Structure 1
Amino acid sequence: MSEQNVHLVCPHCQATNRVPMARLSATPNCGKCGQPLLTGNPHELNAQTVNKIIQKNEVLTIVDFWASWCQPCLMMAPQFKAAASQLPQVVFAKIQTDKYEQAAAPYNIRSLPTMVAFKHGKEVARQSGALPSDQIVQWVRSLRT
């Protein structure tokens, strides 16, 4: 039986890497730039990176759609970061919708903050409203089963 591989997009250089599933817990590095692929921190997306991160990552990817003027978004930011540190095999990313309106538009975000879970480029769930880190972790874990 052959080992299953997944594609992971490097949050540093955007190279797509093929990683054996068994190595996901071993903090794999990018084959191009040598940086960690799974950082345990949310990384900021922009108009050039949002689609690649969502479409090419084959692991669970949680994207926080937020805006700089949104107080609940700002309150949730440290909670989102804390949740990311507890789930290092999940990709956490953020996109600022007021800065990258066109990039966020295809995802039909109606309220902020909204977290959208993607796997293999497809939306698998979404959660609107600010949550504490333990509830974010619980929600993400419920998607992995």
Structure 2
Amino acid sequence: MVKLVCLDCGQTNRVPQDRLGSGPKCGTCGAGLMDGKAHEIDDATLEKAIRTDDVPLVVDFWAPWCGPCRMMAPEYSKAAAALKGRSRLVKLNTEQHQRASAKFGIRGIPTLIAFGKGREAARQSGALPAAQIEAFANQVPAAKG
């Protein structure tokens, strides 16, 4: 069984590992847990997902006024779809969640941080195409040990 935090309601769910690619849903609210979409989240959900998730979590720290962030958004969505069932990609607006930006030492945007096994595993700044985002996500350890 793999633990995943629902990105909509914040509940922790247990999902059989072999069902990750088949679109598991939250037992509380019915939202997709591994739906291949890049979800906008808040800092509290991010903290819980980092601590709890047993699959790699990639966070795009971005802002609406940032040109490179807006340019990378469709590529990030493509990567999220390609990584369905293996990694979860989320977005955190640094303007709305400045405390999280400070906590993670975000100095420039867009910045991607990959989390695995409850801790930061990799960091990359600058806009990237989908293939490089996928490669970045694939270097993260998959399950807690």
5+ residue gaps in structure 2?
A: none
| Alpha-carbon distance in 2 for matches of 1:141, 1:48 | 25
Q: Secondary structure at the match of 1:48?
A: helix
| Alpha-carbon distance in 1 for matches of 2:46, 2:21 | 24
Alignment of 1:80-99 (within 5 A): 80-89=76-85, 90-99=87-96
| Alpha-carbon distance in 1 for matches of 2:113, 2:133 | 11
> Structure 1 length as normaliser, TM-score?
0.89
Q: 1:110 maps to which residue? A: 107
Q: Give deviations 1:33-63, integer Å, cap 9, x for gaps.
A: 2222111011111133221122221210000
| Alpha-carbon distance in 2 for matches of 1:85, 1:125 | 20
For the pair 1:69 / 2:65, whether they are aligned, the reply is: yes
5+ residue gaps in structure 1?
A: none
Q: Secondary structure at the match of 2:113?
A: strand
For the pair 1:15 / 2:11, whether they are aligned, the reply is: yes
Q: Percent identity?
A: 45
Q: 1:57 maps to which residue? A: 53
1:143 to 135, 140, 143: 140
Q: Secondary structure at the match of 1:130?
A: coil
Structure whose alpha-carbon radius of gyration is higher: 1
Q: Secondary structure at the match of 2:65?
A: coil
| Alpha-carbon distance in 2 for matches of 1:79, 1:42 | 10
Cα RMSD (Å): 1.6
Q: Quick check: 75-84 or 51-60, which moved more?
A: 51-60
For the pair 1:27 / 2:7, whether they are aligned, the reply is: no
| Paired residue total | 141
> Structure 2 length as normaliser, TM-score?
0.89
Letter in 2 for 1:44: E
